[in-house]
Copies of this chain bind each other. A is one copy, B any other.
Amino acid sequence: MALRRTITGFSNPLVKFLRSLRDKKHRRREGKFLAEGLRLLTDARASSVLPEMLVMATGREPHPLLDALEAAVAAAGGEIVEMDVDILAKVTGKDNPQAVAGVFAEFDTRIASLDRHAAPIWLVAQALRDPGNLGTMLRTGDAVGAGGLILIDDCADPFSVEAVRASMGAIFTQKLACARWDEFIGWLRASEGQLVAASLRDPTDYRIAAYAAPCFLMVGNESQGLPASYEEACDLRVTIPMRGRADSLNAAVAGAVLAYEALARLEG
């Protein structure tokens, strides 16, 4: 039987808890994250991931997808919380009576939990700082049939509201792992896997490089790129042509251009 609650006061501790999930420190402590919007929550459900808690406005209009979501959360023993629309606006930051939010348990992000043979392509990002770029890489990973995204060193938090939103639901379909470089390279070299860097150092044109599955495509920090020593540890350094004045692409764009080339070549 699902737990149901109606919140009528701004000072309710649950409101404070929900707002605190916008902050990384609190997410880590609670092991929970927020996803907002009916589309995202429906995407989660389609991937068989349900929120532990579903938060909605008391005065909302009925909506078949929202009803289905509510029924699924209730059936799974999750918690259904309704609150006045002005309180919900404090939680979501949006003045929208149709707003809806879900609280999810953070996923296992240990690299040891990845099955590298589950997919031909994996995306790897090092010190990626922008949560929008991170979410976009998850979305691209889903699109190319990648297994997931491996985050090396200090990256933006994949469970931030911005990253979850930019992933357009791919946070629920792609595996996520977080590791320091030494841990990652140790794991990678313990079995088969080709590590490919997007690089400007002694590189091969990305269109003629010989990709091999499982293929780990790595991009670096938005302003620094990859450390030289990381690139040297790669099996392949590939470059994307730059015909203009600038010397780099947006990190998520570079990852996507590489991933689609690798996909075509591995399938071809």
Contacts and interface: CB of A to CB of B under 8 A. Distances in A.
A143 B249 contact: yes
A257 B253 CA distance: 8
Interface residues of A, number: 36
Contacts of A46: 245
Interface string A176-192: 00000000000000000
A260 B263 contact: no
Contacts of A264: 207
A253 B173 CA distance: 19
A55 interface: no
A143 B244 CA distance: 5
Interface string A201-226: 00000010000000000000000000
Contacts of A252: 250, 253
Contacts of A56: none
A143 B43 contact: no
B168 A246 contact: yes
A244 B136 contact: no
A187 to B, nearest CB: 24
Contacts of A170: 244-246
Interface string A129-154: 00010001001111111000000000
* Identical copies of this chain, number: 2
A80 interface: no
Contacts of A250: 136, 139-140, 166, 168, 252, 256
A231 to B, nearest CB: 20
B245 A260 contact: no
Given A256-B257, A260-B240, A245 B142 contact: yes
Contacts of A253: 136, 139-140, 252-253, 256
A131 to B, nearest CB: 11
A243 B136 contact: no
Given A136-B253, A143-B242, A256-B257, 19 more contacts: A46-B245, A47-B245, A136-B250, A139-B249, A140-B253, A142-B246, A143-B241, A144-B241, A145-B244, A169-B246, A170-B244, A173-B246, A240-B260, A243-B263, A249-B256, A253-B253, A257-B257, A257-B260, A260-B261
